[in-house]
Structure 1
Amino acid sequence: MDRPIASNYGPSYGTVNPAVYGTPAPGMLSAPTAPPANMFDTIPGYEGTLAGGGGGYLPPPMPTVPMPVPEQAPTPPDWHIPSISEHIARESLEKYVSSKCCYSSAPVKDGVITTMETFNTYRYRLESFTESRTSEWSQEPYTGQVVDAGIQPAPSPWQISTNPPAFFNDKKQTIKVPYTSSVKNCHVCLGAGRGPCTTCAGAGNKVCWSCNGSGTRMSNDQCITCRGLGRENCNSCNGHGSRECETCRGKRQMLVFINLTVKWTTEKDDFVAQQSSGLRVKNLESVSGKQLFQNAQYMLYPVMGFPDASVAQASERLVREHQAKYVQNSRILQQRQTIELIPITKVNYMWKGKSHFYFVYGNEFQVSVDDYPATCCCSVM
């Protein structure tokens, strides 16, 4: 039996299977990763929509709801939160230390609290609950799905009904846009349903792994794996030289349509009034305080008449920034502003003749310790 003639794809590839494709061109081995632009139709209202997340945000219609009117912030008679008790201060530190594998409990048991200082601070929070819509061309193998492009005009992006969540609950929904679905030949296999096997370059066989193409073993006996041919069938394509197209899954055609992605997102900004405790402002992000004021409506007006001028100024700045920033590519469905009084207690204590301190803050009695006096080094063996 004649030996197969080696192909021009290097020694690891086999001969071409002429019954399948003939000699494969090098370019056929690297299929395009994205559909060509001419696969997509132009749909009014969705011009510029691209494949793979293209198209960008779709501007919403101009709001018709009237602008908000000023609202005076209430002034409770007492916005002061008293310092926590020594029992809570010690218990909070004990809980914090127990969560650290390298912290000794000796300062908790033997330390003597000397003073506790209160540094309450205000936190203003503005939340804007927004809805944004983006479009992209998508495709899937055609298996008989509804084809409706051209039957009637597609609804505009902001006319499509959705299932929105409750305010300030983030969610994402993807919707196939009606009257945009059409059928195209698969751009990868050009409608053939199959493509050259990339393992054997469409040949259907490869160099025998056992004899490395020689047809014989070291003892000059005939190789039993390839029966002396020096080649063996490609396992990836079972010797056919081609495989089912992974893009269309052998269906030859693709259903092409526009997907609309709707996102509901809570955009949030905080402002913490200046406080001189020494606790880092970042620590306050994970705790809550005593709520002094809250207002929620479609569009907010900045807080007015608040005793701390910095809070009122922050409210005016953030409301203006949100309404300028988020109406460009989304629509604001609801806004909420909150003012909290966050308790911060600096606990000073003595241990082994030296002075130390830690912070207890928020309604959750979180603890922050910059330099705990009794730690050890842990290592994992």
Structure 2
Amino acid sequence: MFPRAIGEPDLHPEPGRPLTPSAAPGRRDDGAKPLPPPLDSPGKPGEQRSRPPFVQHSVPPMTEAVARRALLRFVASRCCYGSRAAGELAIRQLRQLGTYRYRLETFSESRLSEWAFEPFTKPGAARRPGEAPLDPWDVEVGAPPLFQGQTRRCRVPRSALVRDCHRCHGHGRSKCGVCHGAGRTRCVTCKGSRRRLKQQKRCQLCSGTGRKRCNTCSGRGSKTCATCQGEKKLQHFKQLVITWKNNVFEFVSEHHLNFPGELLSKVSGEYIFKDENVVVYPIVDFPEPEISLASQRAIAEHSAAFATSSRILRQRQTIELIPITEVHYQYSGKPYLYYIYGLENKVYALDYPERCCCGCTVV
């Protein structure tokens, strides 16, 4: 028996107390433990640095021809909308608007440590007595591309320990659960009565004994242990679960229009500000005060949420100008309105005049 080091799990609990609910090799045998990031984590703020300047911007111009094409494309994508109104309507006014979208992305890495096991098949692979395992944060694992989430698993070097299998107690075989170790089971034909019930003749399948050889264990009363696969020993090791996540904070300034704000998250805008570094600093002098306040709140929230549980690898904050055009038009003598938004010229038309009543939603 190896001596157990401080902090090492007890891999041989007292009799009657199961070590793990599953006997499948490779499963955890101790609860996963989150690992706080090292004190010298790269996501710590340093000296204030100069930030990129704001790009001069203006709302891209919208013409009647472009506005009409956008509406025709929108109508063609809806099964219940007629195209005649889009072709015959008279545009009266194009009101050019715009709104700002601020986004903060924090690319973080978190690590969990859990004990796993597998059948011991490689003598000499276990940790030597007195050899300390590598610190989980010192295990080098290549990160995915920036701002792309991913989860990987790897074992901690020098953490392997070899123990007798807890399921079969080092025998390599376990009692058959069908015959309970007897090697024989009740005959399914005569149900143990030794005779055919209707013919009152001796049962041919069990030769009149009422029992037959167990098919599960081939009459041996035991079968190869599913946990250690007959190797009698298990190799326990620390496994890292490394999660990279792109955490996003998004804020859209108010536009005071009869327009669902959630639609703006599905379109792109013109970038007027980009700032990327290990850590970014709040924006304080943007012409729209709401954006500056959103930047300060976002950075404070991400710092509080991730600095103690994850390692911040990179941050990126952007400001986009999302164009919105309010199109006033007339059809059959009545006034109507629709919106064109985003660089993709998406359309929102709540009261389009030529539509049936099948209940289609407009997005």
Question: Shift of the alpha carbon at 1:170?
Answer: 2.4
Match of 2:35 among 15, 32, 57: 57
8 Å contact kept, 1:206–1:233: yes
Encode CA deviations 1:264-313: one digit per residue, 9 max, x unaligned.
Answer: 22111011111122222222222210000101112211113211011011
Q: Could you say if the C-alpha distance between residues 374 and 169 of structure 1 is closer, same or farther in structure 2, counting changes exceeding 3 Å?
A: same
User: Would you say the 8 A contact 2:134–2:157 is kept in 1?
Assistant: yes
Q: Which of 88, 96, 99 is matched with 1:118 structurally?
A: 96
> In 2, are the aligned partners of 1:72 and 1:305 still within 8 Å (CA)?
no
Displacement of 1:348? 4.4
Matched letter for residue 196 of structure 1:
K
Q: Is the 8 A contact 1:155 1:178 kept in 2?
A: yes
The correspondence for 1:267, drawn from 224, 231, 247, is 247
Matched, 1:374 2:355: yes
Aligned position for 1:157: 136
Confirm or deny that 1:33 pairs with 2:13: no
1:56-104 CA-to-partner distances (Å, cap 9, x unmatched) read 2333224476624264663444x32135334444444444444445555
SS across alignment from 1:292:
strand
> 2:300, 2:94 → 1: CA distance?
39
Say whether residues 1:330 and 2:318 are aligned partners. no
Aligned residue type for 2:117? Q
Quote the offset at 1:205 in angstroms. Answer: 3.1
* Alpha-carbon distance in structure 1 between the residues aligned to 2:224 and 2:333: 79
| 1:233 counterpart letter in structure 2 | R
Q: Is 1:134–2:112 an aligned residue pair?
A: yes
Aligned to 1:17: none
Residue 312 of structure 1 pairs with residue 300 of structure 2: no
Per-residue deviation, residues 167-217 of structure 1 (Å, max 9, x unmatched): 223233322111111111111111122222223333333333333333314
Correspondence for 1:84 among 62, 67, 90: 62
The answer to whether the 8 A contact 1:152-1:179 is kept is: yes
Displacement of 1:251 after TM fit? Answer: 1.2
The structure-2 alpha-carbon separation of the partners of 1:220 and 1:323, relative to structure 1 and needing over 3 Å to count, comes to same
Unpaired runs of 5+ residues, structure 1, are 1-26, 36-49
* Distance in 2 separating the partners of 1:281 and 1:213: 74
Amino acid at match of 1:162: V
One of 208, 215, 225 as aligned partner of 1:235: 215
Please point out which of 185, 188, 198 is paired with 2:167: 188
User: Relative to structure 1, is the Cα distance of residues 209 and 274 closer, same or farther in structure 2, using a 3 angstrom cutoff?
Assistant: same
TM-score (normalizing by structure 2): 0.80
Distance 1:194 1:304, change over 3 A: same
Q: Distance in 1 between matches of 2:331 and 2:223?
A: 75
- Which one of the candidate residues 142, 145, 148 is aligned to 1:169? 148
- How far 1:138 sits from its partner (Å)? 0.8
Structure 1 residues 180 and 72 mapped into 2: Cα distance closer, same or farther (>3 Å)? closer
Distance 2:79 2:182 in 1: 62
Report the aligned-residue RMSD: 3.1
Check if 1:254 corresponds to 2:242.
Answer: no
Distance 1:156 1:292 in 2: 43
Secondary structure of the residue aligned to 2:291 is helix
Q: 1:90 to 1:246 in 2, by over 3 A?
A: farther
Determine if the alignment matches structure 1 residue 200 to structure 2 residue 179.
yes
Change beyond 3 A, Cα 1:66–1:103: closer
Q: SS of the counterpart of 1:67?
A: coil
Bigger drift between 234-243 and 272-281 goes to 234-243
Kindly state the Cα deviation for residue 108 of structure 1 after the two structures are TM-superposed: 4.2
Q: CA deviation at 1:165?
A: 2.8
| Superposed displacement of residue 249, structure 1 | 1.2
Number of matched pairs: 336
Contact 2:70 2:347 in 1 (8 A): yes
Q: Which segment is superposed worse, 239-248 or 186-195?
A: 239-248
**Contact 1:186–1:252 (8 Å) recurs in 2:** yes
Distance 1:108 1:51 in 2: 66
Q: 1:209 & 1:352 partners in 2: Cα distance? A: 83
Question: Which residue in 2 is equivalent to 1:302?
Answer: 282
Deviating more after overlay: 199-208 vs 141-150: 199-208
2:260 corresponds to which of 277, 280, 290: 280
Cα distance in 1 between the residues matched to 2:33 and 2:166? 21
Q: Secondary structure at the match of 2:33?
A: coil
Per the alignment, residue 41 of structure 1 pairs with none
Matched residue type, 1:141: P
Indicate how the Cα distance of structure 1 residues 168 and 72 shifts in structure 2: closer, same or farther if over 3 A, else same: closer
In the TM superposition, residue 337 of structure 1 has moved relative to its aligned partner by 0.8
1:69 aligns with 2:48: yes
Query: Percent identity, aligned pairs only?
Result: 35
The amino acid that maps onto 2:97 is: F
